[in-house]
Amino acid sequence: MVRFIHFLLVMLSTSCLHAQALAVRTTETNCTPQGCRQLIGTGACAFVGNIADRSVYITAAHNVIQARTIHVGYGGTWWEARVVFKRYEEEIDYAILETQRIPASHCFILSDTQPIDGMEAIAYGYSNGVYNLKSLRARIRVTRRGHCFSRLVAKGDSGGPILVNGQIVGIIKGHDQTHTIYTNSMLIRNKLINLYGRLPDCHPPVYRKSDRASPSQQPESNRNEQFAALESEITRLKQQLTQLKQTQIPVQLIGADGSIKQEQRYQLGQPIKLRFKAVNK
């Protein structure tokens, strides 16, 4: 039971992260002497909160630098986005996007510090497709070029967040032969304050500093409440499974006159067998 509850807690936290590490879809027009064609690009972004009636995201500038249209995927809808700011240089690659306010319940916090060499980190992106969030676990490395992520990302991960202790430390730019290069969160954080006069509202964040306590340090009452809520949810799901097992599907044989000639019921999941008599011509 404890393992199952731990699994559910992991799934709940993963779905929360999935909601804030979002996909970006762009279109651009490419013209040659032979004609023009529309190109569709995909990448990732991080939802960092709201300013008034707008939602704010961070992505890689190269994802949107030539885009004719930009959309952010959330809640089964593609939300039209606009570029508020972009900066694309050798070591710096990020853009700030806005959409109308989305009904998201959590957001990411941009870290105001950079991690030390060897700290565990996780990167999110959409190299498996815009409906399939991928995560990579690795470590932060500090080189002469700056901070980087010790595993290589793939096409579609650009613009995704790299997290340490649940906070964004960088936005994926690309990679060299051995490491993933990212844009420093402190630079992005300062630009947001410069643009808006403050950081976007992020309540509640996916992660709070108070969450750093290990499970053994959490108050016993909080753990008991979590277990009670999960056990209640498990009981509800078991009841639904029992109802499904008892569900029967009616199969009717209808005559030419529209009347029911025969009816048989099958349990949900049971193969339906149909037998027909041979007719002599």
Q: Tell me the per-residue pLDDT of 143-165, one tens digit each, with 9 for 90 and over.
A: 877 888 888 888 889 999 999 99
Question: pTM, whole model, 2 decimals?
Answer: 0.68
258 found inside a domain:
no
Domain end position, chosen among 212, 234, 256 = 212
At 164 the pLDDT is: 94
In terms of domains, do 103 and 145 share one? yes
Pair 233, 206 in one domain: no
Q: Over the chain, what is the mean pLDDT? A: 82
| Rounded average pLDDT over 47-67 | 95
How many separate domains does the chain show?
2
Read off the pLDDT of residues 78-116 as tens digits, 9 standing for 90 and up: 999 999 999 999 889 999 999 999 998 789 999 999 999
pLDDT at 5 (0 to 100):
45
Instruction: Give a yes or no: residue 179 inside a domain.
Output: yes
Same domain, 53 and 180: yes
CATH (domain of 17): 2.40.10.120
pLDDT at 13 over 60: no
Are 129 and 240 contained in the same domain?
A: no
Give residue-wise pLDDT tens across range 233-259.
Answer: 777 777 777 777 777 777 777 877 878
11 band by pLDDT with thresholds 50, 70 and 90:
very low
User: How large a percentage of the chain has pLDDT more than 70?
Assistant: 80
pLDDT of 216 strictly over 50:
no
Same domain, yes or no: 159 and 240: no
Whether pLDDT at 229 is above 50: yes
pLDDT at 134: 87
pLDDT band at 275; cut points 50, 70, 90: low
- CA distances to 22, 195, 207, 228 from 104, rounded to whole Å, are 11, 22, 15, 26
pLDDT at 87: 96
Domain membership of residue 102 as a residue range: 10-212
Task: Evaluate if residue 8 carries a pLDDT over 60.
Answer: no
Q: What is the pLDDT of residue 276?
A: 63
- Least reliable range by pLDDT among 6-15, 49-58, 62-71, 178-187: 6-15
Q: Which of 194, 212, 230 is the last residue of a domain?
A: 212
